[in-house]
Amino acid sequence: MALLITTDCTACDACKPVCPNDAISVGDPIYVIDPLRCTECVGAEDEPQCKLVCPADCIIVNLDFVESQEELQAKYDSLHS
């Protein structure tokens, strides 16, 4: 599943540099996560790094993009091959 940043985002920039897939970008007014690039850090880390560093606790699962661990790994592999 891809992750989603809620409107509680403070645009602190903590999440963007820790994303291994460059899936997070500056939006207006909050940051956004590209679901086509987000692998929830599968392939790079044991858990989503953006969620770990977010001081506003505003990153949630995007239920519009439900994917298996295998699909997330395949997406990661295609992004980094």
For the chain, the domains span: 3-79
For domain 3-79, which CATH number applies: 3.40.50.880, 3.30.70.20, 3.40.50.150, 3.40.630.30?
3.30.70.20
Q: How many CB atoms lie within 10 A of CB 13?
A: 11
pTM assigned to the model: 0.94
Q: Classify residue 3 as exposed, middle or buried by CB count within 10 Å of its CB (0-12, 13-18, 19+).
A: buried
Residue pair 38/23 in contact (Cβ under 8 Å)? The answer is yes
**What is the tens place of the pLDDT at every residue in 33-66?**
999 999 999 999 999 999 999 999 999 999 998 9
Q: What per-residue confidence (pLDDT) applies to 36?
A: 95
